[in-house]
A = this chain, B = another copy of it.
Amino acid sequence: MASVTLENVSLRYRNGTLGLADIDLDIADGEFIALVGPSGSGKTTLLRSVAGFLTPTAGRILIGDRQLAGGSVSVPPEQRELGMVFQQHAVWPHWNVARNVEYPLRRARVSRLERQRRVAEALELVGLAGYERRDPATLSGGQRQRVALARALVARPRVLLLDEALSALDEPLRDRLRLELHTLTRELGLTVIHVTHDRSEALALADRVAVLDAGRIRQIAAPQTLLERPASPFVARFLSDATLVDGHVAAGRFRAADHPLALPCDLSLPDGSAATAAILPAAVRIVPGDDAVVRSTLFTPEGSDVVVTWHGMTLRVRTHGMRPQVGDRVAVEVGHAVVYPHEPAVAAELPVATPA
């Protein structure tokens, strides 16, 4: 187990695509970090740089005190002492379970007896005790992923890397393995970097979540902080499905453009500056009235996930207890919103809910 440090890491692919830009990341020993972000944001690139499959074009990567990449150094993956679990198919179909799990120990020239002991131990750990002789083809998807996990853990890696390790599984199974993964890594005190598309998975598992976009870390924080104080409209929208509204600041209040919406604003901006407000679904209440129409409602155990059209603005709302029906006419109360100085780039990338 060890800490992982990325200093100023950039990576440009041969075709010119910028995979990572100026990444600074300190992962403490034993910490569980999740990387989320839209497709193409660089999550896999970051993970594979740590694993050693990609070499940064600038910056340094360290595990513990050992420099793995940077300058003229580039330690190949096989010498980095890592464990890694892939999204799919990474259990070798031509070997049985024990042979699969044993492989890292063979490479490390561990003796036969010791190998047997540790394979049994690792399989026990992932709940597959006694599966040594099984052919991977006879295992279910979840069992295979557990074999991959056992293989990643058996050689006591310094860091565990997970690239969408749970994404290929069906939901109930994913849910179960998520729990197991958490229990296991906490018990072993492992340092983990976990790449995922699934926002609730990232929030559920990680000590800190890093939100990537276009090769940069946009925010890295504990789950609670991310939800409550998103650092940018992008993060608010990506993580919490916030509705983004363009407008301007006037007399300490945010006023939406062409829309009755006005909100208190604690941002100290000169009057008249353009600003963007992020309205979190949980900060909106639906009350009786008739200036908005319910377009869609999805059932959740706690309430409903509702989309309303409100004076031409499409607003996402999360209710508690109350379950409006499609077509209902309602009124909308926005409790508060996070207001940011206007960022044209973000507005261009993600269609903001500008009132039509």
A residues neighboring B (CB under 8 Å): 38-39, 140, 167, 170-172, 175, 178-179, 182-183, 186, 196-201, 203-205, 223-224, 227, 238, 241, 282, 295-302, 305, 307, 326
Contact = CB atoms under 8 A, between A and B. Distances in A.
Contacts of A307: 179, 183
B305 A203 contact: no
B227 A301 contact: yes
Given A39-B170, A171-B199, A183-B307, 10 more contacts: A170-B198, A171-B198, A172-B238, A178-B298, A179-B296, A179-B298, A179-B305, A183-B326, A203-B299, A224-B299
A39 to B, nearest CB: 6
7 contacts: A39-B170, A171-B199, A171-B201, A179-B296, A179-B298, A203-B299, A204-B305
Nearest to A280: B301
A179 B172 CA distance: 21
Nearest to A201: B171
Contact of A299 (B172, B223, B298): B223
A183 B293 CA distance: 12
A178 B300 CA distance: 13
A223 B305 CA distance: 14
A31 to B, nearest CB: 14
B179 A199 contact: no
Contacts of A196: 171
Contact of A182 (B227, B241, B298): B298
A171 B224 CA distance: 20
Given A199-B171, A238-B172, A204 B298 contact: yes
Which has the most chain B C-beta neighbours within 10 Å: A171, A175, A199?
A171
A203 B172 CA distance: 14
Nearest to A298: B204
Given A197-B171, A199-B172, A299 B183 contact: no
A33 to B, nearest CB: 14
Nearest to A228: B301
Contacts of A241: 175
A1 to B, nearest CB: 16
Given A204-B299, A204-B305, A299-B224, A170 B197 contact: yes
A238 B172 CA distance: 8
A200 B296 contact: no
A310 to B, nearest CB: 15
Contacts of A224: 299
A52 to B, nearest CB: 26
